[in-house]
Amino acid sequence: MSLLRTSFLPALLLAGLGAFNTLAYAPYSWHAIPLFTLTALALMLLRSQSWKQAAFYGFSYGVGWFAVGISWVHVSIATFGGMPLVASLGIMAVLVLYLSLYPALAGALAWRFRQSKAWPLLLTACWLIAENLRSWVFTGFPWLSVGYSQTSGFLAPWAPLIGEVGISFVMLLFAGSFAVLALRRQFGFVALTALLFALTPFLGTLKGWQSSGQSVSVALVQGNIAQNLRWDPAEEANTMKKYMELSREYLNHQLMIWPEAAIPQLEPLALAYLINLDMLAAERETAVVTGILDYKTNGDAYNGMIVLGRYHNAKTQGDYSYGTQNRYQKHHLLPIGEFVPFQSVLKHIAPFFNLPMSSFSRGDWQQANLQANGYQLLAALCFEIAFPRQMVANFNDDTDFLLTVSNDAWFGQSIGPHQHLEIAKMRALELGRPLLRATNNGITAVIAADGAELGRLPQFEDGVLSLKVPQTSGRTPYSLWGDWPLNLFSLVLLAGFWLRQRLSAAKNQV
């Protein structure tokens, strides 16, 4: 009780600062905001009287951060999930409180090392470990990691070298450095941070990739099918006809991309349509990549992507067949939406957790790039694009494009689709490849390897985005080593200082 009395006003302030972070991400993009809000959090952690108070401050910051930043999730639950307002708000509250446990953990851990002169580094290591857990536990939900605020910001040139996680590292080091400067007059880490910021504009020569001088004609189709009609059996024929009509004029492109589950029939039931499109695409010397749901005879269901038309650039009558291995099956499944944790128990508690097709099968962690008209496409479905480790694991020297398809109609006119595109842009920066993004109702876009937006379609309109996409070659340093160096550094650093503290305490007791 005394903890709440002494911490209430600072915690309220930190919650407000966490909420303010939302303006750092798309569509607002006030990139510098987290540098100041994280510095305020670091100051409060250093001033905390106990690890419990530090955890409470971190938790409060997280509540504001996630309650406002991912408020768009409520749109899908309330509007399309058909749940009563009280229940949908309850689910949102549980999600926000759960996610806030991770900054709370970071705060509690960092407080343990508050006396160290290397505290800015230790704070950074604590934060990275907590965020790494957030991206892994219960399949992970790494949305709104602070590094994404720099996707089009000043620190973006670090992405090809150390990725979004590394950018988060630099931002936390900034926060910790200015906190110890304010409270202890330590200048060393501020000087280090200033050096990192000063080097940022000159990092372009180290990015590791270069333009190949070639380009590929690409068409991305946005059907803009209303969410309440997408799985209506009476609308299946109209949806499939619409995609065919939108595409017909653009089948002279080398690649054509349709969104997630653009075909509203299960793959075995849509074979006549697929084979017809396969032959048509091959005749026009192109490849069509589309999202589709597959249901196997053994009961396994997959959310995936298939390629129709030409797999390679040799003349063919169409390479698709239902048994083809040239497909992608989603690995990172969305909790509740694509699988129900503990479904055998929950289905007896509420019918909501016992829906048909509520648990998809999981594709492999590593899958071959899709082969489409002689090009290799590294695929990610929907929110999988937020998992850089999966992208790195499937990236190779011959990867030509990053490909992500999605259906953000679940989130209406919220900020969610804008944040989703921002995350996708970070993957292009990290891996040094152009990214193709097709969605049902926006934001369909093409991103260059340097993160620049080459084109996009307006939201909530049907249409086709047609353009020439410049190719790149080479490997970014991040594509070679991913997040492992920073994660290992964080673990070794904390373990070393923890052991040092234990030995020092034991020596003082003698």
- Catalytic residue numbers read 260, 330, 382
Q: How far apart are CA 442 and CA 222, in angstroms?
A: 7
User: Token pair for residue 284?
Assistant: 């026009």
Q: How far apart are CA 405 and CA 370, in angstroms?
A: 13
User: Token pair for residue 286?
Assistant: 């192109």
Q: Which amino acid is at 156?
A: A
Q: How far apart are CA 419 and CA 13, in angstroms?
A: 25
Q: Does residue 27 have a cis peptide bond before it, meaning omega lies within 30 degrees of 0? A: yes
> From the centroid of its chain, how far is CA 410?
16
User: Alpha-carbon torsion 128, 125, 149, 56, what sign?
Assistant: positive
Residue 241, classified by CB atoms within 10 Å of its CB into exposed (0-12), middle (13-18) or buried (19+), is: exposed
Instruction: Judge contact between 309 and 286, C-beta under 8 A.
Output: yes
In 227-314, which ranges are continuous DSSP H helix? 236-248, 271-283
User: How are beta strands 453-456 and 445-447 bridged, if at all?
Assistant: antiparallel
Closest residue by Cα to residue 28 from 200, 153, 166, 175: 153
DSSP state of 369: P
Measured at the CA of 72, the angle between CA 364 and CA 348, to 5 degrees, comes to 60
User: How are beta strands 370-372 and 453-456 bridged, if at all?
Assistant: unpaired
